[in-house]
Chain A
């Protein structure tokens, strides 16, 4: 049970290429901001989400090093590495630590440092989140899988590739006003269509830019009348691995089930959500996520995006700070960015990215090409 937990502080760093900062520095900065925001005493547990720090030859056991750097020792620390789903899974683990009564206040930090690695090395490491023996070692990566998925999506639903523009458009529209985003400009269709192809039909504009970033939240057991945003529901679902299912079936069962379970726990429906943050590491997973959580029927995600459903003033505002596509993708931190951005909106602190009178939010991150999905309902 995740209910009865509140978020008393949030912090994030700008998503960018942070040449002057290392992985630990970024994590410390986000954690420091969250601690200041919460004005709380030292946490009694630290959970860190970091997907690739070890594989990239950077810092292993980042949670210990972070706690040490923050000066909050002695403290209980954990690292969570679940590919791009690390952030959501870390929040989930922190909830379990609190719900079980083991801890009162838990600091959850997601951090990733991608810019130190050369692009082909980063792609190799990101690919290792897939089936290492059958997919990664045969040259398949999440990006290539995304390209195959896009092609299948276009084939099966008989769509034109240009329709995928509307996914990137929503993200850029919202990222344009987010001073922490890496891409802060609206995207027009001409720009989208001339974007370089990575793997047909997927272009650079259909993928989220890998970047450096960290985001942090401080969780504790809810106190009556505290006024803090609460976690109303959560679910972490892992399904059969492999890129084949999403590509051939065009569904993300883990995302569907995880969203349904979290919504059920929160006692609400997807239609009740004031905003949603879904996993848009590439346009294909973004489209399937939209359909998986029930914002569009199968094959209609792009049309709903074109209709304006996902704009800030639309039916279901999506990627309110630009999503991974415009804000930037720091893989292990991505789930935490989603939570922090949703909290800012629910608090009314989102400034130019504010969704009017936001009361509930659904955030969902995906790992291993959608085989794992972690959803939280905030409100």
Chain B
């Protein structure tokens, strides 16, 4: 993860900011610069609620570089209240206890840190709803 790349993604990584097209009302996450539905280039910034539920989950034992320290971890498709699907890790729960339909909410965590010297990527994961 190059520094500038994660910096560009901070609004979506830290605040779940997406865009709503001013012409066709399409909601996209992360933010886009051109609507994939109507081609419009004007948007309203739209912060997603961060509440959702697990659609399907897996427990990962063999990870890509930079993620090995978190193994075994739960990776899932989460459907947000706004209807958007996100690929995200599930935290604060044992991977085997994650289930389909589990209510979750966004938390900000260290996603990857490139050893001791690199920039730390802070971004969203999802955790079981703290106060149902």
Contact indicator B63/A139 (Cβ below 8 Å): yes
Q: With A120-B63, A123-B65, A137-B1 in contact, do A248 and B75 touch (Cβ < 8 Å)? A: no
Contact indicator B100/A121 (Cβ below 8 Å): no
Measured in the bound complex, the distance between the Cα atoms of B75 and A262 in whole Å is 36
Task: Verify if B113 is at the interface (C-beta below 8 Å from A).
Answer: no
| Candidates B5, B36, B68, B87; contact of A138 at CB < 8 Å | B87
Measured in the bound complex, the distance between the Cα atoms of B100 and A116 in whole Å is 39
The stretch from B19-27, B38-46, B50-58 touching chain A is: B50-58
| Candidates B58, B63, B87, B112; contact of A123 at CB < 8 Å | B63
Residues of chain B with a CB closer than 8 A to A200's CB: 58-59, 61
Task: Verify if B62 is at the interface (C-beta below 8 Å from A).
Answer: yes
Q: With A148-B75, A244-B87, A248-B85 in contact, do A138 and B65 touch (Cβ < 8 Å)? A: no
Interface 0/1 of A123-135, CB less than 8 Å to B: 1100100000111
- Chain A binding surface, main DSSP class: helix
Q: With A139-B60, A247-B56, A248-B55 in contact, do A199 and B75 touch (Cβ < 8 Å)? A: yes
Task: Verify if A198 is at the interface (C-beta below 8 Å from B).
Answer: yes
Interface 0/1 of A180-214, CB less than 8 Å to B: 00000000000000001111111000000000000
Measured in the bound complex, the distance between the Cα atoms of B63 and A119 in whole Å is 9
Interface size on A, residues (CB 8 A): 35
Contact indicator A139/B56 (Cβ below 8 Å): no
Q: With A124-B64, A137-B1, A155-B100 in contact, do A199 and B88 touch (Cβ < 8 Å)? A: no
Measured in the bound complex, the distance between the Cα atoms of B78 and A134 in whole Å is 13
Interface 0/1 of B3-30, CB less than 8 Å to A: 0011001000000000000000000001
Measured in the bound complex, the distance between the Cα atoms of B100 and A191 in whole Å is 29
Contact indicator B60/A147 (Cβ below 8 Å): yes
Task: Verify if A144 is at the interface (C-beta below 8 Å from B).
Answer: yes
Task: Verify if A310 is at the interface (C-beta below 8 Å from B).
Answer: no
Task: Verify if B82 is at the interface (C-beta below 8 Å from A).
Answer: no
Whole-angstrom distance from the CB of B109 to the nearest CB of chain A? 11
Residues of chain B with a CB closer than 8 A to A124's CB: 64-66
Task: Verify if A243 is at the interface (C-beta below 8 Å from B).
Answer: yes
Residues of chain A with a CB closer than 8 A to B60's CB: 139, 144, 147, 198-199
Task: Verify if B123 is at the interface (C-beta below 8 Å from A).
Answer: yes
Q: With A155-B56, A155-B100 in contact, do A148 and B63 touch (Cβ < 8 Å)? A: no
Residues of chain B with a CB closer than 8 A to A152's CB: 55-56, 77
Task: Verify if B76 is at the interface (C-beta below 8 Å from A).
Answer: yes
Task: Verify if A151 is at the interface (C-beta below 8 Å from B).
Answer: yes
Residues of chain A with a CB closer than 8 A to B73's CB: 139
| Candidates A138, A139, A199; contact of B61 at CB < 8 Å | A199
Whole-angstrom distance from the CB of A200 to the nearest CB of chain B? 4
Measured in the bound complex, the distance between the Cα atoms of B98 and A155 in whole Å is 14
Closest to A143 in B: B62
Q: List residues of A (242-256) whose CB comes within 8 Å of B's CBs.
A: 243-244, 247-248
Contact indicator A199/B59 (Cβ below 8 Å): yes
Measured in the bound complex, the distance between the Cα atoms of B126 and A222 in whole Å is 57
Closest to A140 in B: B87
Contact indicator A197/B67 (Cβ below 8 Å): no
| Candidates B62, B87, B100, B112; contact of A199 at CB < 8 Å | B62
Closest to A117 in B: B65
Residues of chain A with a CB closer than 8 A to B77's CB: 148, 152, 243-244, 247-248
Task: Verify if B121 is at the interface (C-beta below 8 Å from A).
Answer: yes
Contact indicator A138/B88 (Cβ below 8 Å): yes
Closest to A133 in B: B9
| Candidates A135, A140, A148; contact of B56 at CB < 8 Å | A148
| Candidates A123, A139, A151, A198; contact of B89 at CB < 8 Å | A139
Measured in the bound complex, the distance between the Cα atoms of B55 and A155 in whole Å is 10
Measured in the bound complex, the distance between the Cα atoms of B62 and A121 in whole Å is 12
Q: With A134-B30, A138-B87 in contact, do A123 and B64 touch (Cβ < 8 Å)? A: yes
Contact indicator A197/B61 (Cβ below 8 Å): yes
Residues of B at the A interface (CB closer than 8 Å) are 1, 5-6, 9, 30, 36, 55-68, 70, 73, 75-77, 85-89, 100, 111-112, 121, 123
- A sample of 16 inter-chain contacts (CB < 8 A) reads A121-B65, A123-B62, A123-B64, A135-B87, A138-B89, A139-B111, A145-B87, A148-B58, A148-B77, A151-B57, A152-B56, A152-B77, A199-B60, A200-B59, A243-B77, A244-B77
The 4 closest A-B pairs by CB, nearest first: A147-B58, A139-B67, A123-B64, A152-B56
Beyond A124-B65, A247-B77, list 9 extra A-B contacts (CB 8 Å).
A123-B63, A134-B30, A136-B64, A155-B100, A196-B61, A199-B61, A199-B75, A200-B58, A247-B55
